[in-house]
Amino acid sequence: MSRMSQPWVSHLLLTVLLLLCRYASAVKLHKPRSEVLSLLGEQEGRLYFGNCEQSSGRSSCVFAIDESYNQEPTQCAVTSLEGKPWWMGVLETPAYITKITLLNIDQLYRSHPDALRAVTIMAGDDVCFRYESDESFVKRSFPCDTVADQIVIRSRMDSAALTLCDVTVYGAPIRFRGVVDDAGPLRVQWCQQSSVSGNGYCENAFDGDANSNHNARPCAVTIDEATPWMSARLEIPSLVTEIKIFNRADCCGDGLNQFLLTLDNRVCADYEGATFESKYFPCKFFGDRLRIKSKKNRAISVCEMQVLGYPMELPRDAKFKALGCYKDNHKDRDLGQLVSSILMSHEKCYSICKRLGLKYFGVQGGAHCWGGSTYGKHGKVDEKKCSIPCEDNERQRCGGSIFNNIFEVL
């Protein structure tokens, strides 16, 4: 039914990708299409599906991805006459998606209102195109510049049959860091929870300290309420392999006796069991949004949540190397030249400092770009000190209040 579109994917990556299923993550790349393809080192080509589903008549969904291009009803994916019918397909590998082409059923065979007259085309969480017309089309292509592993074709009509004889997706596969190595820890960008008990903020679950005594070191704790939850977003969409949860040990550990653990709404674990101090849960999906939700009306406590996997390599043309987080001083700046304080990102600061001939650059306070010929006079500090998101790219970290993320211009 399908085949791999590129040979570079390793056996290990294939093993993980074959477990991808219904929901997906997406990330916008704010660069021209030609530039992204160049940075990926790929040409635009056809991407292939691994599996599919649809709202009704589910066994026929594969006719949209069998490469037959036959427009007879028996050879197309067809739903029942229903409200807002949909079709969904999961790619064999997450990819930068450039274009989606739909082939409709031949007009001679149409016996129901055509659901494609008002349709939303999505890649992961991103809307690629909203189409609406009084007339049906036979074949049409829609632009879609995003990274995802799932395509959804969803009609907005209240009574129609969705017919798809072929869904063709174009783009280039993305790469992941270190897939030949053991999975590494993934960083969390932000978190939230349904409620907070005392000082039990969600950030406590991602501070690197697995101490399970809440009184000695605060855990993330909700109040007693109906199905409490905690969620977090990874810095970069990633192939997650497993999640380790550290429960509270000084009391109240039974709050984690029944819960759902999900990544982008895909269920990693539906746990109902004994109280545990710490436990690994396999979660072999691509995504960036974690959620743990209790199935009881009982407070939950998470002292630490460790997420392991392989982060997506975001394409970039900047050539610089991260050196770490360094302390600064208002009266004696580590990097001597403030070059910009407007909508900062790593790439923007790099570009300015490169033009100025500066060997090192640092980003600070989410917005400031500093440059210089030397660095490190006040010493290196823990990476946690550099945790403020960049104003122009919230997935990146731009230092702390008086700390720089410092880079070397290569």
List pLDDT tens digits, range 121-148: 998 777 899 999 988 889 999 998 888 8
Distance CA 243, CA 240 (A): 8
Q: What average pLDDT score do residues 62-72 get?
A: 89
Predicted confidence (pLDDT) at residue 26 exceeds the cutoff of 60: no
Q: What is the pLDDT of residues 366-380, one digit of tens each?
A: 999 999 999 999 999
Q: Could you check whether 33-172 and 184-313 share the same CATH topology? A: yes
Q: Say whether pLDDT at 115 is over 90.
A: no
Residue appearing with tokens 């290569």: 410
Mean per-residue pLDDT of the chain: 85
* C-alpha to C-alpha distance for 229 and 340, rounded to whole angstroms: 40
Give CATH superfamily name and number for 33-172.
Galactose-binding domain-like (2.60.120.260)
Q: What is the pTM (predicted TM-score) of this model?
A: 0.59
In order, the DSSP letters of 41-90 are: T---EEE-EEEEEESSSGGGGGGGSSS----SGGGSEE--SBSS-EEEEE
How far is the C-alpha of 345 from the C-alpha of 394, rounded, in Å? 8
Domain ranges of the chain: 33-172, 184-313, 320-409
Query: End-to-end alpha-carbon separation of the chain, Å?
Result: 45
- Do 213 and 252 touch, CB atoms closer than 8 A? no
Residues 6+ apart with CB under 8 A from 331: none
**C-beta of residue 99 within 8 angstroms of C-beta of residue 169:** yes
The string of pLDDT tens digits covering residues 305-319 is 999 998 887 655 557
Q: Could you tell me the two tokens for 248?
A: 């509270």
Q: Which CATH architecture has domain 184-313?
A: Sandwich (2.60)
